[in-house]
Structure 1
């Protein structure tokens, strides 16, 4: 049932023990989940087995709260275009770390080179419209993306890319 006042002001559902079925500190994804009555998880990474492509969807009161997926795109621009993410690569906040990371309000992406099923790259994308404040969203997603990528890569039979001499 829809509420004329815009819905609950507090979170009535329990915070999930994992994010998309992978172990990430709850404090990192807690801010992504808005107030509401019911959390549904129709897709979790763990449901897909040890493959390179994974999808996750968290719904709060039937509305998309978090969507995350992995892809084999070699660069961020392909994922941005294919998934119609509504962000411009030139506006991204770049993060230093173990992965190539780009963050915008509501979207974060991490990429690493690897060998898995004849692929040479895995990109993790997270979309989350909450928190609504742009600066807070970038901060929360920046803090989350690398640990989430670490946990996600445990599901993917991926070896770190090593350039061979003569290539």
Structure 2
């Protein structure tokens, strides 16, 4: 049996904290995303509990009258509890060393494991077609789990929002980017 998951990175937001809202442009993007997704049939919607992720999918969820289910495992990965002026280089290193963990943070492997857990539960559920709304870094780690060539450079190329389709059939997965920026 085939399962489809639409993997979505949130729209443009004001900041990084969990309570960061979408910008005015991000609100427009969320409406455009709802239109983009309007032709697909969706059984369930899962979102990071971060406000920017929920606000990203809310117009679509309202349009198709499906409840948004939040899941902490879809929250963005914390790189470190400490401020790191060189965070960009530190993040890059975590794509080549999946076990590298900074103080108070989460390794790539740990973050990958939790989002893969969500996907595995979705594959095992009754839902044929689901949506996951999450964040760029953890989304990249999920894509890397299924395609090892998806790494730091590909993370840098993600847009806000961004949409990938994942099709699971006979223990195989096909992944493709379907979002086109205008």
Is the TM-score greater than 0.5? Answer: no
Between Structure 1 and Structure 2, which shows a larger proportion of strand residues? 1
**TM-score, normalised on structure 1?**
0.30
Relative contact order, CA 8 A, sep 6+: which one is greater?
Answer: 2
**TM-score, normalised on structure 2?**
0.28
Between Structure 1 and Structure 2, which shows a larger proportion of helix residues? 2
